[in-house]
Structure 1
């Protein structure tokens, strides 16, 4: 067991404090309407005025100086040179389109285009932030310069944190501002210092350092990540980061992105040259390349290529693209063609297997061609075809070439009351298997398999409008039935290249196929019956959906992999129910037809009053999976204690092994300008040992402390604390 160190995360989070229902914070802003005054002129109003020799005008009492660009309020003002110089004092308030400043005094000179305010408190329009400056200067030559300046998002009188700088300058026409000798204070205690940094003041992307990302976990120790953004071109950029971990050393991370009119993509690379937490100290890496492009109106290109150095890379160092429960990384590259009648794809598909699992077959390459056309109003003609070469790194696994052609005639008839479909198909597959050097194999080097298939499907829709209270609903019952016949051929002389057995779910029982891929096609003489009922509201939103179905086998299957001991499949049922605006429920179940015992089931229900006010309960049961029984229960909750304190928690229990697989608790204090989060968790480590076997008995524990300084722009979310850890949080269902 490992105990993670407490990590203090000092992160500037852009958030709108007024967005929380539990915490109400007033947005500090102001309004400015440009005055209707001729360009180049000013208008002055006051309680009293005195003009000296037509050169100097002195105004006293409630002075209001208006120009096309700004408004100045003061107790007194002196205007000289026909308005070209202005001095104002006494509760001065300067307002323009972007800025509001309260000051002891103001001086303006139109000849040198300079405006200065002394001992000022400023506020930027539509930004929940404010500050003070000993001197604020606005000029055409230098832009905006603030000396001995501070900034905070806290309300007046409650400055829990602030930024203090000797000077902040924002030059006209430049996309970024500059700050010198910046100190960060919590209360009155300085905690961070930067001699110089530049910050963006426009939406345009600029090259420069991004905010650092401190953190820490039990496996990495205390860590500090400093990203640098490189704006290479308008359609190209890169983020380069150095991540130092006290337990593991220095890691380099890079993300490169590009965009053109028809193509876009990104490349990520992470490299740790010497992991000091391992005995070998070997280099560890992760890379990922993703590309999507439009070659023409009908042709597209796709690539997703990635790899990792070792089985425990994701567990030890984390990943933004995969989680520690994954057992393989999927990668592919290829092209697609789409038209009204033809769909074509040509791909190379491969896997990186994580852990000591059987190596998967690679498709090098795989080509699919599907053709569809309407012979007439009643008949459709379709051809599905596929050609692939399968390669395996294991010497006792054969490589193979497979070609499949499947022409079919269908007779569809669809109306509002239901559907009838008759279909006839021929399934022909050819295999060329390289079995040379493979011991004790019953495979043949060359196999031809031709099967015939007939399918008759029908469904009806019964509707009824029902009023309950003041609400109108539409209730439907949709019975459906299917007869399927597929001829038999011995397939024990064919290897398994992309085939696994499908689950008995409601959606699968009407497919008529018990396996993925083409290596095993079961013989069928069966009837499938089922029904679905739905409830929709007047806006056609589905509030309730329930389905149940079963297969009746008229003959026992002759295919060895598909043989069964009874004449009926398990009963498959599914349920989705939006009980009301707050309650959601989802469940599916497979019930054995002879034992009347549950073979598989899952259940999830959630009570949600608001985005951050919810309780979710779920349960998963599998009678037999890889010779093991799965029986797990989980509960997750997010709930406010009061307007400033919030609690989240998650607990998962394995009833089969009588142990807790994950426990997590977090508590947060939030004010209008900062938040403090404390999280504690214990969960299965799920690491692989040296033999590539996942350890299911080792646990990992950790404590984390996060300090969030709330700034400008977007929203934070307390539920994101529930998304940490092994299982995370997901809403149980989403009905339309």
Structure 2
């Protein structure tokens, strides 16, 4: 039923019953119930639909509307303007001649807890047809997420379908126009309207490096089902040839996984076929029973080095291949593991260059904190069979059992925890020819006793006009482990821990179970913090610790190891860090050997970040005795990185890592970005050296069209890894509040 009335301001429009139609204008004539003609500021309103025009003719029996002159249709977040329109209001169908339009929807948040973001698409067309709620079909049309007035980029299509039920746009006979210049032609393409997935061609990626030449990839995304999708990615490299790649992802109620394949029939440089395969799968078989599978393989040692433009990928050495089963009980856990690696560029001169295989490893661990007398118990057991591809390596079956008892005692400002355990290990060894004559069966029992204690003090303090909560946290840790001769035990999984604040309170200075380091030492450490009383920000954190040796160390990994001697404390560890001001953060750590009067490790970094997309980083690393297995390689380098505005909307990014030890640049990144409001241009150059004689140069160029896609090779992952604190300049969800607490 339609009602007629003079026009009223929006705030004074009467509320309508669902389905009721109201027509208003300066002049209305006709017969109610048959046809009404409204002229002058004419309006027709029903539910969430408002139609305004110079003249509106409404035929109530057929629910048809003819609107003429400055027609505007508003419905939800959609607005369509044109000189003439015909509509069937209830069916939400009709057409607009030469319209302009703005259609907006809320985009789902990228992360849980984030607020939804509105994505608006706009454009113009020769003809726009409404084909039901959320369905639009346009002829000779444009679409963009830029401002509707003079957009920098848009899709121009002979035919354009906008389906907001599926959140998919489909363009036929289309091209992407940037700065009034067509840059990419698409005979058919689908694109997201509000961030939802859909099948279709993705924008191509292209780049260049000295290893691959010009590198072009045209991916196709296949949205198989809500919980299955795949990406097919044929790749052309001018130096190497054609590569076919693909990735399949799946998600079930109790499982999820990813499968990736790459295949190059013939590498024009090597003349060989090259392949990559990768499977990651996680499965929950029952509420407490889980399984994982992680399989990776490539056809040759130089696969990543030749075909990747990332130092993190190109320098990969060991590819994991393992399957694992885990059952978690209430207070115990059982697991089974089969593990091996594919080692790339194995060096037989480096000890254990290829890790041992674990075929299998079985573990049973139990922990109870409710034993009699307030005691806590822990049991760690393991059986593992170590095997190796090389025939000159020892192989063995190893059994480990480590029962432990502790008595935790604590108050409001103190804690004391005495602990005792026995680490039992037995080996059944298959000796290689080079170690024949050494015992095949070895057992080792090592008692381990420790006493951990600490205090916690705090007070209110006032410095530089601000109130702080200052803490003082002294800690003492005594460890007693008798020496056992372990020289006949091969090294299957043991290595040296870097000495740090986490390790100085550890029971064993070695990882794994092949070496149990002897100890008769006391570690003393103290930490103090200054916490802003108003904001809770930790402004300063300072800590210092020293270990005192009461007996000479006797257990070692390699002949070159430096063993600590009894006497005063040899190692002093110190750290200083915190958010010193609202814009400056520092972090530093040093390890000093009093016996040799040498600094054995020094890491220091400072970050200046006064605002979004404004960050400068400086770090220094020094470790002259850094080891890789039994070889001293040393480390001394300086790293500078940053992101900073260069001019209006222009930003520079860069990083340089310089090895002072070798006097050469090991990695360099330089790039620029431009934020055009609804698009971003990025370009970056990356140079890295896996070793002194193997240098890779790569260039990335990308045009990112907001809420549509990126065209070119994406340097974002490289930039984010290279520049700590980097801010994506077109990320509306980024936290842009800096310099405040």
Q: TM-score, normalised by structure 2?
A: 0.85
- Measured after TM superposition, the shift of residue 328 of structure 1 is 1.8
Is the alpha carbon distance of 1:723 and 1:599 closer, same or farther for their aligned partners in structure 2, counting shifts above 3 Å?
Answer: farther
Residue of structure 2 aligned with 1:58, choices 25, 28, 37 = 37
Kept in 2, the 8 Å contact 1:432–1:445? The answer is yes
**Deviations 1:8-60, CA, capped at 9 Å, x for gaps:** xxxxxxxxxxxxxxxxxxxxxxx999984344442222222333799654332
3-state SS in 2 of match to 1:314: helix
Kept in 1, the 8 Å contact 2:398–2:426? The answer is yes
Kept in 1, the 8 Å contact 2:43–2:52? The answer is yes
Is the alpha carbon distance of 1:563 and 1:724 closer, same or farther for their aligned partners in structure 2, counting shifts above 3 Å?
Answer: closer
Residue of structure 2 aligned with 1:634, choices 632, 639, 643 = 639
Residue of structure 2 aligned with 1:669, choices 674, 677, 680 = 674
Kept in 1, the 8 Å contact 2:164–2:193? The answer is no
Higher relative contact order (CA 8 A, sep 6+): 1
1:209 — aligned with what?
201
2:170 — aligned with what?
178
1:728 — aligned with what?
722
d(CA) in 1 for partners of 2:221, 2:61: 50
Kept in 1, the 8 Å contact 2:532–2:538? The answer is yes
Kept in 2, the 8 Å contact 1:674–1:707? The answer is yes
d(CA) in 2 for partners of 1:336, 1:64: 67
- Measured after TM superposition, the shift of residue 731 of structure 1 is 5.0
- Measured after TM superposition, the shift of residue 141 of structure 1 is 11
**2:571 is the counterpart of 1:570:** yes
- Measured after TM superposition, the shift of residue 469 of structure 1 is 6.4
1:297-446 alignment runs, 5 A limit? 297-318=287-308, 323-357=313-347, 358-373=353-368, 374-435=370-431, 437-441=432-436, 443-446=438-441
Tell me whether 127-136 or 44-53 shows the greater mean CA deviation.
Answer: 44-53
Kept in 2, the 8 Å contact 1:127–1:712? The answer is no
Unaligned stretches of 5+ in structure 1? 1-30, 687-694
d(CA) in 1 for partners of 2:603, 2:300: 33
d(CA) in 2 for partners of 1:87, 1:726: 55
**Deviations 1:78-124, CA, capped at 9 Å, x for gaps:** 33456733322221111112421111112235698742211111111
d(CA) in 2 for partners of 1:320, 1:264: 27
d(CA) in 2 for partners of 1:264, 1:499: 33
3-state SS in 1 of match to 2:493: coil
**Deviations 1:527-568, CA, capped at 9 Å, x for gaps:** 222222223344655443222222211111233547625334
Kept in 2, the 8 Å contact 1:544–1:577? The answer is yes
Is the alpha carbon distance of 1:37 and 1:613 closer, same or farther for their aligned partners in structure 2, counting shifts above 3 Å?
Answer: same
**2:695 is the counterpart of 1:699:** yes
- Measured after TM superposition, the shift of residue 432 of structure 1 is 0.5
2:555 — aligned with what?
559
1:17-28 alignment runs, 5 A limit? none
d(CA) in 1 for partners of 2:603, 2:682: 33
Residue of structure 2 aligned with 1:257, choices 246, 249, 257 = 249
Kept in 2, the 8 Å contact 1:490–1:559? The answer is yes
Kept in 1, the 8 Å contact 2:311–2:688? The answer is no
3-state SS in 2 of match to 1:247: coil
d(CA) in 2 for partners of 1:79, 1:667: 57
Is the alpha carbon distance of 1:497 and 1:163 closer, same or farther for their aligned partners in structure 2, counting shifts above 3 Å?
Answer: same
d(CA) in 2 for partners of 1:635, 1:321: 17
Tell me whether 318-327 or 161-170 shows the greater mean CA deviation.
Answer: 318-327
**2:530 is the counterpart of 1:531:** no
1:218 — aligned with what?
210
d(CA) in 2 for partners of 1:110, 1:556: 92
Residue of structure 2 aligned with 1:452, choices 415, 437, 447 = 447
d(CA) in 2 for partners of 1:199, 1:563: 62
Tell me whether 607-616 or 328-337 shows the greater mean CA deviation.
Answer: 328-337
Is the alpha carbon distance of 1:156 and 1:137 closer, same or farther for their aligned partners in structure 2, counting shifts above 3 Å?
Answer: closer
2:65 — aligned with what?
86
- Measured after TM superposition, the shift of residue 500 of structure 1 is 0.8
3-state SS in 1 of match to 2:304: helix
Is the alpha carbon distance of 1:563 and 1:178 closer, same or farther for their aligned partners in structure 2, counting shifts above 3 Å?
Answer: closer
Is the alpha carbon distance of 1:204 and 1:577 closer, same or farther for their aligned partners in structure 2, counting shifts above 3 Å?
Answer: closer
- Measured after TM superposition, the shift of residue 147 of structure 1 is 1.2
3-state SS in 1 of match to 2:219: strand
Is the alpha carbon distance of 1:123 and 1:63 closer, same or farther for their aligned partners in structure 2, counting shifts above 3 Å?
Answer: same
d(CA) in 2 for partners of 1:260, 1:32: 50
1:111-130 alignment runs, 5 A limit? 114-125=93-104, 126-130=118-122
Residue of structure 1 aligned with 2:87, choices 105, 108, 114 = 108
Kept in 2, the 8 Å contact 1:442–1:492? The answer is no
- Measured after TM superposition, the shift of residue 235 of structure 1 is 3.1
Tell me whether 380-389 or 79-88 shows the greater mean CA deviation.
Answer: 79-88
- Measured after TM superposition, the shift of residue 71 of structure 1 is 1.2
d(CA) in 1 for partners of 2:119, 2:19: 30
- Measured after TM superposition, the shift of residue 429 of structure 1 is 0.9
2:478 — aligned with what?
483
d(CA) in 2 for partners of 1:580, 1:547: 19
Kept in 1, the 8 Å contact 2:528–2:542? The answer is yes
**Deviations 1:606-642, CA, capped at 9 Å, x for gaps:** 1112331100001111112333332111111111123
1:709 — aligned with what?
705
Residue of structure 2 aligned with 1:683, choices 684, 688, 707 = 688
Kept in 1, the 8 Å contact 2:642–2:723? The answer is no
3-state SS in 2 of match to 1:581: coil
- Measured after TM superposition, the shift of residue 171 of structure 1 is 6.5
Kept in 2, the 8 Å contact 1:454–1:485? The answer is yes
Residue of structure 1 aligned with 2:278, choices 275, 280, 288 = 288
Is the alpha carbon distance of 1:122 and 1:110 closer, same or farther for their aligned partners in structure 2, counting shifts above 3 Å?
Answer: closer
- Report the aligned-residue RMSD: 3.1
Tell me whether 611-620 or 720-729 shows the greater mean CA deviation.
Answer: 720-729
**Deviations 1:180-200, CA, capped at 9 Å, x for gaps:** 211222333333222233445
Is the alpha carbon distance of 1:573 and 1:67 closer, same or farther for their aligned partners in structure 2, counting shifts above 3 Å?
Answer: same
Is the alpha carbon distance of 1:189 and 1:370 closer, same or farther for their aligned partners in structure 2, counting shifts above 3 Å?
Answer: closer
Kept in 2, the 8 Å contact 1:477–1:533? The answer is yes
d(CA) in 1 for partners of 2:12, 2:616: 47
1:240 — aligned with what?
232
Kept in 2, the 8 Å contact 1:662–1:726? The answer is no
d(CA) in 2 for partners of 1:111, 1:570: 82
Q: TM-score, normalised by structure 1?
A: 0.86
3-state SS in 2 of match to 1:106: strand
Kept in 1, the 8 Å contact 2:158–2:174? The answer is yes
Q: How many residues align?
A: 686
1:618 — aligned with what?
619
**Deviations 1:559-582, CA, capped at 9 Å, x for gaps:** 354762533432122333111222
1:512 — aligned with what?
507
d(CA) in 2 for partners of 1:41, 1:208: 42
- Measured after TM superposition, the shift of residue 489 of structure 1 is 2.0
3-state SS in 2 of match to 1:509: helix
Kept in 2, the 8 Å contact 1:32–1:97? The answer is no
Kept in 2, the 8 Å contact 1:36–1:68? The answer is no
**2:595 is the counterpart of 1:590:** no
Kept in 2, the 8 Å contact 1:262–1:295? The answer is yes
Tell me whether 321-330 or 644-653 shows the greater mean CA deviation.
Answer: 321-330
2:266 — aligned with what?
274
- Measured after TM superposition, the shift of residue 172 of structure 1 is 8.9
